[in-house]
Protein backbone atom coordinates (compact mmCIF):
# COMPACT_ATOMS: atom_id res chain seq x y z
CA UNK A 1 0.00 0.00 0.00
CA UNK A 2 1.52 3.26 -1.18
CA UNK A 3 0.71 6.93 -0.75
CA UNK A 4 2.00 10.25 -2.01
CA UNK A 5 3.22 12.09 1.08
CA UNK A 6 3.37 15.87 1.27
CA UNK A 7 6.79 16.75 2.68
CA UNK A 8 6.26 20.48 3.19
CA UNK A 9 5.86 23.67 1.16
CA UNK A 10 9.43 24.67 2.04
CA UNK A 11 10.93 21.53 0.51
CA UNK A 12 12.40 21.38 -3.00
CA UNK A 13 10.72 18.00 -3.43
CA UNK A 14 7.26 18.49 -2.03
CA UNK A 15 5.82 14.99 -2.57
CA UNK A 16 7.21 11.49 -2.27
CA UNK A 17 5.49 8.15 -2.90
CA UNK A 18 6.14 5.89 0.11
CA UNK A 19 5.08 2.51 1.41
CA UNK A 20 2.41 2.76 4.12
CA UNK A 21 2.25 -0.86 5.28
CA UNK A 22 -0.94 -2.91 5.49
CA UNK A 23 -3.50 -0.41 6.83
CA UNK A 24 -6.07 -3.14 7.32
CA UNK A 25 -4.14 -4.98 10.02
CA UNK A 26 -5.10 -2.74 12.92
CA UNK A 27 -8.59 -1.48 12.18
CA UNK A 28 -10.55 -0.21 15.16
CA UNK A 29 -14.06 -1.44 15.89
CA UNK A 30 -15.63 1.42 13.92
CA UNK A 31 -12.93 1.85 11.24
CA UNK A 32 -13.31 1.29 7.51
CA UNK A 33 -10.51 0.47 5.09
CA UNK A 34 -11.21 2.16 1.74
CA UNK A 35 -9.50 1.44 -1.56
CA UNK A 36 -9.22 4.98 -2.88
CA UNK A 37 -10.34 5.17 -6.52
CA UNK A 38 -10.52 8.93 -7.17
CA UNK A 39 -9.43 12.04 -5.27
CA UNK A 40 -10.02 15.63 -6.34
CA UNK A 41 -7.58 18.51 -6.08
CA UNK A 42 -9.15 21.24 -3.95
CA UNK A 43 -8.27 24.90 -3.48
CA UNK A 44 -7.27 23.93 0.07
CA UNK A 45 -4.67 21.53 -1.37
CA UNK A 46 -3.32 24.43 -3.42
CA UNK A 47 -3.13 26.65 -0.33
CA UNK A 48 -1.26 23.92 1.54
CA UNK A 49 1.10 23.34 -1.41
CA UNK A 50 1.91 27.06 -1.47
CA UNK A 51 2.50 27.17 2.28
CA UNK A 52 -0.68 29.11 3.01
CA UNK A 53 -3.19 28.32 5.72
CA UNK A 54 -5.88 25.78 4.82
CA UNK A 55 -8.92 24.75 6.86
CA UNK A 56 -6.71 23.19 9.54
CA UNK A 57 -3.01 23.02 10.37
CA UNK A 58 -0.91 20.56 8.36
CA UNK A 59 2.03 18.67 9.84
CA UNK A 60 4.15 16.92 7.17
CA UNK A 61 4.75 14.23 6.19
CA UNK A 62 1.09 13.51 5.49
CA UNK A 63 -1.02 12.20 2.61
CA UNK A 64 -3.31 15.01 1.47
CA UNK A 65 -6.56 14.60 -0.46
CA UNK A 66 -9.82 15.26 1.38
CA UNK A 67 -12.18 14.92 -1.59
CA UNK A 68 -12.30 11.24 -2.42
CA UNK A 69 -14.29 8.12 -3.13
CA UNK A 70 -13.53 4.42 -3.26
CA UNK A 71 -14.52 0.86 -2.45
CA UNK A 72 -14.89 -0.58 1.05
CA UNK A 73 -12.13 -3.17 1.38
CA UNK A 74 -12.49 -4.15 5.05
CA UNK A 75 -14.55 -3.06 8.07
CA UNK A 76 -14.15 -3.17 11.82
CA UNK A 77 -16.36 -5.56 13.82
CA UNK A 78 -18.83 -2.86 14.93
CA UNK A 79 -19.36 -1.25 11.52
CA UNK A 80 -22.96 -1.45 10.27
CA UNK A 81 -23.37 1.55 7.98
CA UNK A 82 -21.34 0.08 5.10
CA UNK A 83 -20.09 -3.34 4.06
CA UNK A 84 -17.23 -4.77 2.01
CA UNK A 85 -17.70 -3.95 -1.66
CA UNK A 86 -19.78 -0.82 -1.14
CA UNK A 87 -18.90 2.25 -3.17
CA UNK A 88 -18.43 5.15 -0.77
CA UNK A 89 -17.49 8.77 -0.50
CA UNK A 90 -15.79 10.13 2.60
CA UNK A 91 -16.70 13.25 4.55
CA UNK A 92 -13.26 14.37 5.77
CA UNK A 93 -14.37 16.91 8.37
CA UNK A 94 -14.66 15.80 11.98
CA UNK A 95 -15.61 17.86 15.01
CA UNK A 96 -15.07 17.50 18.75
CA UNK A 97 -18.67 18.23 19.77
CA UNK A 98 -17.41 19.70 23.04
CA UNK A 99 -16.03 23.18 22.33
CA UNK A 100 -18.15 26.33 22.50
CA UNK A 101 -18.84 26.61 18.72
CA UNK A 102 -19.87 22.94 18.55
CA UNK A 103 -22.17 23.33 21.55
CA UNK A 104 -23.71 26.42 19.91
CA UNK A 105 -24.58 24.50 16.75
CA UNK A 106 -21.65 25.93 14.77
CA UNK A 107 -19.44 22.90 14.38
CA UNK A 108 -17.93 24.33 11.18
CA UNK A 109 -16.07 26.64 13.56
CA UNK A 110 -14.98 23.78 15.82
CA UNK A 111 -11.88 24.73 17.77
CA UNK A 112 -10.57 21.20 17.28
CA UNK A 113 -11.56 20.68 13.63
CA UNK A 114 -9.85 17.57 12.33
CA UNK A 115 -9.81 16.50 8.69
CA UNK A 116 -8.82 13.41 6.76
CA UNK A 117 -6.41 14.36 4.00
CA UNK A 118 -5.29 17.43 5.95
CA UNK A 119 -4.31 16.43 9.49
CA UNK A 120 -4.06 12.67 8.84
CA UNK A 121 -3.58 10.57 5.72
CA UNK A 122 -6.30 10.89 3.12
CA UNK A 123 -7.14 10.30 -0.50
CA UNK A 124 -3.85 10.59 -2.41
CA UNK A 125 -2.95 7.03 -1.43
CA UNK A 126 -3.98 3.60 -2.62
CA UNK A 127 -5.86 2.99 0.64
CA UNK A 128 -7.10 5.00 3.60
CA UNK A 129 -8.67 4.30 6.99
CA UNK A 130 -11.60 6.38 8.18
CA UNK A 131 -14.29 6.18 10.86
CA UNK A 132 -17.55 4.58 9.74
CA UNK A 133 -19.35 7.82 10.63
CA UNK A 134 -17.52 9.51 7.74
CA UNK A 135 -18.44 6.93 5.06
CA UNK A 136 -21.47 7.54 2.86
CA UNK A 137 -22.75 5.00 0.36
CA UNK A 138 -22.86 5.90 -3.33
CA UNK A 139 -24.98 4.16 -5.92
CA UNK A 140 -22.81 1.64 -7.75
CA UNK A 141 -23.54 3.38 -11.06
CA UNK A 142 -21.96 6.67 -9.90
CA UNK A 143 -18.46 7.04 -11.41
CA UNK A 144 -15.78 7.36 -8.75
CA UNK A 145 -14.61 10.68 -10.25
CA UNK A 146 -18.06 12.11 -9.58
CA UNK A 147 -18.19 10.48 -6.14
CA UNK A 148 -14.99 12.33 -5.27
CA UNK A 149 -16.85 15.62 -5.83
CA UNK A 150 -19.35 14.97 -3.05
CA UNK A 151 -17.33 16.96 -0.52
CA UNK A 152 -17.10 20.20 -2.53
CA UNK A 153 -20.76 19.85 -3.49
CA UNK A 154 -21.67 19.52 0.19
CA UNK A 155 -19.83 22.79 0.83
CA UNK A 156 -21.76 24.38 -2.04
CA UNK A 157 -25.05 23.23 -0.52
CA UNK A 158 -24.13 24.89 2.79
CA UNK A 159 -23.40 28.13 0.94
CA UNK A 160 -26.64 27.84 -1.03
CA UNK A 161 -28.56 27.41 2.22
CA UNK A 162 -27.02 30.64 3.53
CA UNK A 163 -27.76 32.52 0.29
CA UNK A 164 -31.41 31.45 0.63
CA UNK A 165 -32.31 31.86 -3.04
CA UNK A 166 -36.06 32.02 -3.64
CA UNK A 167 -37.91 30.96 -6.76
CA UNK A 168 -37.92 33.71 -9.36
CA UNK A 169 -34.87 35.56 -8.05
CA UNK A 170 -31.85 36.49 -10.18
CA UNK A 171 -28.44 35.14 -9.24
CA UNK A 172 -24.94 36.14 -10.33
CA UNK A 173 -22.17 33.59 -9.76
CA UNK A 174 -18.73 35.17 -10.02
CA UNK A 175 -16.22 32.56 -11.16
CA UNK A 176 -16.70 29.59 -13.48
CA UNK A 177 -14.37 27.12 -11.81
CA UNK A 178 -15.50 23.90 -10.14
CA UNK A 179 -17.30 25.61 -7.28
CA UNK A 180 -18.87 28.32 -9.43
CA UNK A 181 -20.28 25.81 -11.92
CA UNK A 182 -21.59 23.59 -9.13
CA UNK A 183 -23.16 26.62 -7.47
CA UNK A 184 -24.77 27.77 -10.70
CA UNK A 185 -26.45 24.39 -11.12
CA UNK A 186 -27.66 24.36 -7.52
CA UNK A 187 -29.09 27.85 -8.06
CA UNK A 188 -31.08 26.55 -11.02
CA UNK A 189 -32.37 23.66 -8.93
CA UNK A 190 -33.35 26.21 -6.27
CA UNK A 191 -35.69 27.95 -8.73
CA UNK A 192 -33.70 31.04 -9.73
CA UNK A 193 -35.25 32.78 -12.74
CA UNK A 194 -31.92 33.91 -14.15
CA UNK A 195 -28.54 32.36 -13.37
CA UNK A 196 -25.61 34.41 -14.66
CA UNK A 197 -21.97 33.36 -14.56
CA UNK A 198 -19.17 35.93 -14.79
CA UNK A 199 -15.98 34.24 -15.97
CA UNK A 200 -13.05 35.52 -18.10
CA UNK A 201 -12.00 32.10 -19.51
CA UNK A 202 -13.92 31.23 -22.70
CA UNK A 203 -13.75 27.45 -22.16
CA UNK A 204 -15.39 27.80 -18.76
CA UNK A 205 -18.11 30.09 -20.11
CA UNK A 206 -18.92 27.55 -22.83
CA UNK A 207 -19.18 24.74 -20.29
CA UNK A 208 -21.39 26.92 -18.10
CA UNK A 209 -23.84 27.36 -20.98
CA UNK A 210 -23.78 23.63 -21.70
CA UNK A 211 -24.80 23.02 -18.07
CA UNK A 212 -27.89 25.17 -18.43
CA UNK A 213 -26.70 28.55 -17.17
CA UNK A 214 -28.93 31.28 -18.61
CA UNK A 215 -26.26 33.90 -19.32
CA UNK A 216 -22.48 34.22 -19.24
CA UNK A 217 -20.45 37.41 -19.06
CA UNK A 218 -16.79 38.03 -19.85
CA UNK A 219 -15.89 40.57 -17.15
CA UNK A 220 -12.60 41.47 -18.81
CA UNK A 221 -13.89 42.41 -22.26
CA UNK A 222 -17.30 43.74 -21.29
CA UNK A 223 -18.82 45.95 -18.61
CA UNK A 224 -20.29 43.71 -15.93
CA UNK A 225 -22.80 46.29 -14.66
CA UNK A 226 -24.05 47.09 -18.15
CA UNK A 227 -24.45 43.42 -19.03
CA UNK A 228 -26.40 42.75 -15.84
CA UNK A 229 -28.67 45.70 -16.61
CA UNK A 230 -29.37 44.27 -20.07
CA UNK A 231 -30.32 40.91 -18.55
CA UNK A 232 -32.33 41.97 -15.50
CA UNK A 233 -33.55 45.41 -16.48
CA UNK A 234 -32.19 46.83 -13.25
CA UNK A 235 -28.89 47.77 -11.65
CA UNK A 236 -28.14 44.44 -10.03
CA UNK A 237 -29.28 40.98 -9.04
CA UNK A 238 -30.98 39.59 -5.97
CA UNK A 239 -28.16 37.27 -4.95
CA UNK A 240 -24.43 37.38 -5.75
CA UNK A 241 -22.18 34.43 -4.98
CA UNK A 242 -18.45 35.11 -5.19
CA UNK A 243 -16.38 32.01 -5.99
CA UNK A 244 -12.98 33.43 -6.96
CA UNK A 245 -11.21 34.73 -3.89
CA UNK A 246 -9.56 37.92 -5.07
CA UNK A 247 -10.21 41.62 -4.43
CA UNK A 248 -11.52 42.40 -7.91
CA UNK A 249 -14.13 39.64 -7.73
CA UNK A 250 -15.16 40.76 -4.23
CA UNK A 251 -15.69 44.35 -5.39
CA UNK A 252 -17.69 43.12 -8.39
CA UNK A 253 -19.86 41.13 -5.99
CA UNK A 254 -20.69 44.19 -3.88
CA UNK A 255 -21.38 46.43 -6.87
CA UNK A 256 -23.56 43.82 -8.61
CA UNK A 257 -26.04 43.36 -5.76
CA UNK A 258 -29.37 45.14 -6.17
CA UNK A 259 -31.39 46.88 -3.45
CA UNK A 260 -31.90 44.48 -0.55
CA UNK A 261 -29.52 42.00 -2.18
CA UNK A 262 -27.38 39.31 -0.62
CA UNK A 263 -23.66 38.84 -1.24
CA UNK A 264 -22.22 35.46 -0.34
CA UNK A 265 -18.43 35.29 -0.12
CA UNK A 266 -17.90 31.58 -0.72
CA UNK A 267 -14.28 31.39 -1.86
CA UNK A 268 -11.34 30.79 0.47
CA UNK A 269 -9.20 33.94 0.33
CA UNK A 270 -5.66 34.38 1.58
CA UNK A 271 -5.55 34.82 5.34
CA UNK A 272 -4.36 38.44 5.11
CA UNK A 273 -6.72 39.46 2.26
CA UNK A 274 -8.58 42.72 2.91
CA UNK A 275 -11.25 44.67 1.08
CA UNK A 276 -12.02 48.38 1.14
CA UNK A 277 -15.78 48.11 1.57
CA UNK A 278 -18.02 50.78 -0.04
CA UNK A 279 -19.96 51.38 3.16
CA UNK A 280 -22.45 53.81 1.65
CA UNK A 281 -23.51 51.17 -0.89
CA UNK A 282 -24.00 48.66 1.93
CA UNK A 283 -26.07 51.24 3.81
CA UNK A 284 -28.13 52.49 0.87
CA UNK A 285 -28.84 49.07 -0.64
CA UNK A 286 -29.35 47.40 2.73
CA UNK A 287 -27.03 44.63 1.62
CA UNK A 288 -26.66 41.37 3.47
CA UNK A 289 -23.06 40.10 3.40
CA UNK A 290 -22.43 36.47 4.37
CA UNK A 291 -19.46 34.11 4.61
CA UNK A 292 -19.60 30.34 4.20
CA UNK A 293 -17.27 27.71 5.66
CA UNK A 294 -17.09 23.99 4.80
CA UNK A 295 -20.04 21.60 5.03
CA UNK A 296 -21.85 21.18 8.36
CA UNK A 297 -24.71 18.67 8.04
CA UNK A 298 -24.97 18.78 4.23
CA UNK A 299 -22.98 15.70 3.24
CA UNK A 300 -25.90 13.27 3.02
CA UNK A 301 -27.85 15.79 0.93
CA UNK A 302 -24.87 16.03 -1.40
CA UNK A 303 -24.78 12.23 -1.73
CA UNK A 304 -28.52 12.21 -2.43
CA UNK A 305 -28.12 14.81 -5.17
CA UNK A 306 -25.24 12.94 -6.79
CA UNK A 307 -27.07 9.61 -6.59
CA UNK A 308 -30.11 11.24 -8.22
CA UNK A 309 -28.12 12.32 -11.28
CA UNK A 310 -29.75 15.76 -11.20
CA UNK A 311 -26.45 17.63 -11.15
CA UNK A 312 -23.90 17.37 -13.96
CA UNK A 313 -20.37 16.99 -12.67
CA UNK A 314 -18.51 14.97 -15.29
CA UNK A 315 -18.15 17.97 -17.67
CA UNK A 316 -16.21 19.75 -14.90
CA UNK A 317 -13.45 17.12 -14.80
CA UNK A 318 -10.82 18.28 -17.29
CA UNK A 319 -7.66 16.42 -16.21
CA UNK A 320 -6.75 13.12 -14.53
CA UNK A 321 -3.35 12.20 -13.03
CA UNK A 322 -1.73 9.33 -11.15
CA UNK A 323 -0.52 9.76 -7.56
CA UNK A 324 3.05 9.75 -8.88
CA UNK A 325 2.27 13.02 -10.69
CA UNK A 326 0.52 14.75 -7.80
CA UNK A 327 2.57 17.93 -8.00
CA UNK A 328 1.77 18.21 -11.72
CA UNK A 329 -1.89 17.73 -10.84
CA UNK A 330 -1.82 20.55 -8.30
CA UNK A 331 -0.08 22.86 -10.73
CA UNK A 332 -2.70 22.07 -13.36
CA UNK A 333 -5.46 22.84 -10.86
CA UNK A 334 -3.88 26.29 -10.50
CA UNK A 335 -4.06 26.82 -14.27
CA UNK A 336 -6.95 28.53 -16.11
CA UNK A 337 -6.77 25.60 -18.57
CA UNK A 338 -8.42 23.32 -16.00
CA UNK A 339 -11.67 23.18 -14.09
CA UNK A 340 -11.44 20.10 -11.88
CA UNK A 341 -8.34 17.94 -11.65
CA UNK A 342 -8.71 14.40 -10.30
CA UNK A 343 -6.06 11.92 -9.12
CA UNK A 344 -6.46 8.15 -9.54
CA UNK A 345 -4.42 6.73 -6.64
CA UNK A 346 -4.55 3.12 -7.85
CA UNK A 347 -3.53 3.73 -11.46
**Active site amino acids:** 44, 47
Q: Which helix (H) or strand (E) holds 321?
A: strand 317-322
Return d(Cα 238, Cα 324) in angstroms, integer. 45
Q: Are 258 and 228 in contact (CB under 8 A)?
A: no
Burial of 91 (0-12, 13-18, 19+ CB in 10 A): buried
Rounded to an integer, what is the distance from CA 343 to the centroid of its chain? Answer: 15
Cis peptide upstream of residue 61 (ω within 30 degrees of 0): yes
Q: Which long-range contacts (CB under 8 A, 24 or more apart) does 277-286 make?
A: 278/254, 281/254, 281/255, 282/254, 285/236, 285/257, 285/258, 285/259, 285/260, 285/261, 286/259, 286/260
Question: What would the DSSP string read from start to end of 128-149?
Answer: EEEEGGGEEEPPTTS-HHHHTT
Which strand ranges, in their side-by-side order, compose the sheet holding 288-291? 215-217, 194-198, 170-174, 237-242, 257-265, 288-291
Distances from the Cα of 313 to the Cαs of 15, 47, 126, 144, 340, in angstroms?
28, 23, 23, 11, 9
- Collapsing DSSP to helix, strand or coil, 90 comes out as strand
Return d(Cα 241, Cα 168) in angstroms, integer. 16
Return d(Cα 165, Cα 186) in angstroms, integer. 10
Q: Are 77 and 127 in contact (CB under 8 A)?
A: no
Residue 71: Cβ within 10 Å count: 18
Amino acid sequence: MKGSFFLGADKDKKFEVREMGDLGLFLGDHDVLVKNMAAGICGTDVHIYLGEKGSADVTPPVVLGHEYSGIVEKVGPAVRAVKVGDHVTVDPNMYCGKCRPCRMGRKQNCENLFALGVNVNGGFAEYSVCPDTQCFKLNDCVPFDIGAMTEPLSCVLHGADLADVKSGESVLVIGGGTIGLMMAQVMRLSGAANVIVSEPVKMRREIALSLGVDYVIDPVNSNLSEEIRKITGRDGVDKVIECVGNKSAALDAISSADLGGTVLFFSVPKVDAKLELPLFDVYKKELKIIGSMINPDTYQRSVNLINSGKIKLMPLITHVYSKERLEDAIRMQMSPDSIKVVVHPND
